[in-house]
Every structure is written in structure tokens, then in C-alpha cells.
């Protein structure tokens, strides 16, 4: 299992002080948070992509490249790269470049995004979102897998004899996850290509995500990539923890109540009972997170949202320290218990490069 954090990159007023951080402060803070995630032993850091206020990460590959230069082990990912409005050629170039700079420890989560207003800013129509997803990913896959590409589609100008540069590191393209909150077609695409499927899993009840993940697992097997249990699944989650459960509840309540994503809606108690959000003690977080396996089966990657809703940097770092000391070791130990040997580990560049080299040797022998 790989554990990490992801950020949506919001710039939100701290409701306890009335102060809103600047863009500069949030951008610099997220690099501190990513480095701290590595320090406490996390495996993955991921950032979203947004092109509108109140968010800052319009260029996630730039942010991740900066973090790559200051870290050594942590896998750097997006939590959404907009496959609908970004040019597949630019995605191929940017994330192959990141892969080289990070010595392979990078991957990507592709998604449609959930803000329709973005589409016309990039010359697209949100009514075409599913078609754009299918066509753009087919092209992106070819740009990484083929040295020379000839392409003609519906949504961009044709390519003739085109080579995307730089080429993927050692011929191994970044690992691709397809992220979705509600779209079964995205699960189908992930299954068709044998890629990973990332269920955001932070807004809706578990039953909704069980359906999406089961669909992905079934179709993954249908396309001949392995058994349903061997499909590559990632989950989102959220937490706010303190040593004492009531302290966590009292401290987080004003942030929850004013958060732009879910503030002024269900009560915090209702939201925590119906979704993966944990507000409480480390023990409560461990219990809730371990239950994910009961619903979704063994999976490969668990990411948590921790830096949102106006929480100050000091508090976020305290959250990570407590997670690293009181939660992470137990989660690693418990998730490893009774895990079938046939279930794949979380994807890494080293393992995928070794598999590709072994496959090439086998082909040579034949």
C-alpha cells in the first residue's frame, strides 16, 4: 500500500482569524507540506489542477518539478490533470519532462474536472467532455508509446510524423490513473487500457464508489489484464486528528462549517458518518480507514486531503506529524495483514521498468 496526501489547492480564509493567505503563501506552503510528507514517511504527494479563483495550481507540473528538486523518495503525482481541456501533446511533453527531473518517481491522475466554466476558456465545450476524454487519452497513450505518431481526430488538428519529446524515461511512460467522482465511462477507459482507477471518495457515501470500483474491476478482468482483485485502485480520504477526539471536533468545526466545498451544508457529524472524512483521534482514523478494505477490497494507494478549508500551515504540519507517529505505522501493518500475494503492490517506476526489461528479454529469446 502507498499512503500519501493530495491537495485541491484552494485559497480559503481562515475562519478563526479572518485572514486569507496570498497565492504566493499558498504556493510556497504546498512545497513545505510535500517535503514534510516525505519526512514523515509518506509515499505520495499529489496536487490538483484548477484555472479559476479561489485556487492556485494552474500549472501542476511546474509545482511538482520544484518539489522533485527538493525531495528524494516521494512519488509526485497530480490528483487531477484535465484530460478534457489540456492538449494531449502538452501533457505528454510536460509529464515526460517531470519524469526525467524526478528520476521516474512521478505519475499522473487524469480526469474531466468538475467545473464546466473551464471548457470555453480553452476552446472546448463541456457537452463534449466524455468524447474529449476518450479521444485525448487515446492520443496521449500513443504519444508516449510510439516514437512517431500519425493522428487525426475530432477535437484537434492532425499530427503527421510527430514525435513527442522528451521520450519517457527508459522507455517507460508515467503510470496513469483515471480519476472519477461519478463517471462510469472513466472507469471503463481505465479498465480498457489496464491503467489505475482513482476514486476520489471524499464527497459521497461509500455505496456510490463501491459501484464504480466494482465496475472497473469487472471490466479490467474482461479486457484480459488480470483478475478483478488485481486491478489497480486508489482512494481519496480526509482527516483532522488530535490526540483527544473532542479537541479535534472543536478545532475543526469552524473550518468545516465555512469550507467552500461542503460548508453551509450537512453538519460535520452527518458528513463524517456518511463519507470518509475522519474528525477525531488517531484510533478513530485508523478504524475508519481500515474499513475501506471491507468495502472496496485490497487496493494500492490511499491519499488524504489535509491542507484545505483555510487551515494554517502550522496546523497542517502538526496533522502530518501526528499522522506519521500515531497512524501511518499501524495502517501499514494492518493493511499488509492477510493481503493475498496475487494482489499487486502500488505502482512504482522501478518495478515497471524491471517488468518492461524482463518482457523485452523474453521477447528476444522467442
Distance CA 304, CA 76 (A): 14
* Per-residue pLDDT tens digits for 143-171: 999 999 999 999 999 999 999 999 999 99
Q: Which three cell numbers, joined as nine digits, stand for 360?
A: 523485452
Find out whether 259 and 279 touch, Cβ atoms under 8 Å: no
Q: According to the model, what pLDDT value does residue 245 have?
A: 97
Question: What is the pLDDT, as a whole number, of residue 366?
Answer: 66
Q: Which residue range(s) make up the domain with 215?
A: 2-365
Low-confidence spans in the chain with pLDDT less than 70: 114, 366
The alpha carbon of 97 is separated from its chain's Cα centroid by a whole number of angstroms, namely 19
Answer yes or no: are the C-beta atoms of 275 and 203 closer than 8 Å.
yes
pLDDT for position 107: 96
The answer to whether residues 186 and 121 touch, using CB atoms and an 8 Å cutoff, is: no
CATH code of the domain in which 168 resides: 3.20.20.30
- SS3 of the chain: CEEEEEECCECCCECCCCECCCHHHHHHHHHHHHHHHHHCCCCEEEECCCCCCCECCCCHHHHHHHHHCCCCCCEEEECCEECCCCCHHHHHHHHHHHHHHCCCCEEEEEECCCCCCHHHHCCCCHHHHHHHHHHHHHHHHHHHHCCCEEECCCCCCCEEEECCCCCCHHHCCCEEEEEECCCHHHHHHHHHHCCEEEECCCCCCHHHHHHHHHHHHHHHHHCCCCCHHHCCEEECCEEEECCCHHHHHHHHHHHHHHCCCCCCCCCHHHHHHHCCCEEECHHHHHHHHHHHHHHHCCCCEEEEECCCCCCCHHHHHHHHHHHHHHCHHHHHHHHHCCCCCCCCCCCCHHHHHHHHHHHHHHHHHC
Domain count, the chain: 1
**Which residues have C-beta within 8 Å of that of residue 314, sequence separation ≥ 6?**
none
Q: Which residues, other chains included, contact 191 with Cβ-Cβ below 8 Å and sequence gap of 6+?
A: 197, 215, 216, 217, 218, 219, 220, 222, 223, 225, 231
DSSP collapsed to 3 states, 109-157: EEECCCCCCHHHHCCCCHHHHHHHHHHHHHHHHHHHHCCCEEECCCCCC
- Distance (Å, whole) CA 12 – CA 309: 6
Amino acid at each position: 500500500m502507498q499512503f500519501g496526501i493530495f491537495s485541491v489547492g484552494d485559497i480559503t480564509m481562515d475562519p478563526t482569524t479572518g485572514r486569507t493567505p496570498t497565492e504566493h503563501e499558498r504556493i510556497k506552503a504546498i512545497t513545505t507540506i510535500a517535503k514534510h510528507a516525505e519526512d514523515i514517511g509518506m509515499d505520495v504527494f499529489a496536487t490538483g489542477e484548477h484555472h479559476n479563483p479561489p485556487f492556485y495550481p494552474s500549472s501542476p507540473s511546474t509545482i511538482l518539478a520544484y518539489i522533485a528538486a527538493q525531495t528524494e523518495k516521494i512519488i509526485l503525482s497530480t490528483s487531477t490533470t484535465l484530460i478534457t481541456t489540456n492538449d494531449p501533446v502538452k501533457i505528454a511533453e510536460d509529464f515526460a519532462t517531470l519524469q526525467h527531473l524526478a528520476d521516474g518517481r512521478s505519475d499522473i491522475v487524469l480526469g474531466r474536472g468538475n467545473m464546466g466554466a473551464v471548457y470555453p476558456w480553452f476552446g472546448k465545450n463541456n457537452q463534449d467532455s466524455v468524447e474529449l476524454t476518450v479521444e485525448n487519452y487515446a492520443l496521449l497513450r500513443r504519444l508516449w508509446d510510439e516514437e512517431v505518431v500519425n493522428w487525426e481526430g475530432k477535437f484537434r488538428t492532425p499530427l503527421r510524423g510527430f514525435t513527442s519529446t522528451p521520450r519517457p524515461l527508459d522507455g517507460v511512460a508515467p503510470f496513469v490513473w483515471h480519476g472519477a467522482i461519478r463517471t462510469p465511462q472513466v472507469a471503463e477507459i481505465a479498465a480498457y487500457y489496464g491503467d489505475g482507477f482513482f476514486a476520489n471518495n471524499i464527497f459521497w457515501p461509500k455505496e456510490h464508489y463501491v459501484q464504480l470500483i466494482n465496475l472497473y474491476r469487472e471490466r479490467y478482468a474482461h479486457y484480459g489484464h488480470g483478475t478483478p482483485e488485481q486491478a489497480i485502485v486508489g482512494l481519496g480520504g480526509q482527516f483532522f486528528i488530535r490526540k483527544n477526539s473532542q479537541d479535534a471536533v472543536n478545532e475543526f468545526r469552524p473550518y468545516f462549517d465555512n469550507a467552500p466545498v461542503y460548508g453551509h451544508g450537512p453538519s460535520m457529524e452527518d458528513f463524517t458518518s456518511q463519507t470518509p472524512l475522519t474528525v477525531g483521534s488517531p484510533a478513530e482514523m485508523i478504524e475508519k480507514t481500515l474499513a475501506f478494505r471491507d468495502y472496496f477490497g485490497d487496493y494500492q494507494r490511499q491519499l488524504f486531503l489535509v491542507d484545505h478549508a483555510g487551515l494554517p500551515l502550522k496546523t497542517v504540519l502538526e496533522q502530518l506529524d501526528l499522522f506519521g507517529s500515531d497512524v501511518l505505522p499501524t495502517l501499514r501493518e494492518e493493511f499488509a495483514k492477510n493481503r493475498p500475494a496475487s494482489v499487486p503492490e502500488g505502482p512504482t517506476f522501478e518495478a515497471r521498468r524491471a517488468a518492461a526489461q524482463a518482457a523485452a528479454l523474453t521477447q528476444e529469446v522467442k
